[in-house]
Amino acid sequence: MATRLVFLCHAATRSMREGGFPDPEEPLDEGGQHKAQILGLRPTPEVVFAAPTLVARQTAQALELGALVEPALADIDHGAWRGRSLVEVQASEPEALMGWIRNPALGAPGGETFASVLSRVSDWMEAQAASERRILAITHQAVMRAALAHVLDIPSAAAFRIDIAPLSRLTLSFNRQWRFQGLAGEGGST
């Protein structure tokens, strides 16, 4: 039996809809809460992990799933820009924002690099590899991009070109090595 790992991007928030750098304690917005509540997951996971952020935990609750909080699934730390909108950052730090737009893998000022996210996500995935379970990991876009970069051995710049909508699912399997099975948009099946 192979390990099946499904990453689920948390449901929508205000900063996702308006464009910004989320705060770890930002809640789901009304639309995100509703969509998570009606999302069906098949097959049922044997174990569910959630990032420590409020939105990941709320997504698990909306799905009526008990989840183990897993620090390795935390969103990229946006440092000094955490909780700020793109408009606000543009007004106060236009050059720094343009640098981040050109190369988001470097991270926001005082924040975490994508290489750091990739390292912790890869380590966590390798620890799950031999479990032979159906695992659901409720997390963030940056974490899902890191998982794809790890499995497909693609550069960070390529990973940032992958759109991941709220409630998108990334399905991977492990049988001697990690394999990509599919990426489905909001609520789609893999």
Mean pLDDT split into 10-residue runs, the chain, 190 residues:
92 91 92 88 89 97 95 97 95 94 92 96 96 96 97 94 95 95 72
Confidence (pLDDT) at 189 = 46
Task: Determine the topology of domain 3-184 in CATH.
Answer: Rossmann fold (3.40.50)
d(CA 60, CA 93): 35
pLDDT of residue 187: 55
The pair of three-digit structure tokens given for residue 112, joined into one six-digit string: 């975490």
Per-residue pLDDT, 37: 87
pLDDT, position 79? 96
Q: For position 1, what pLDDT does the model report? A: 65
Name the pTM for this structure.
Answer: 0.93
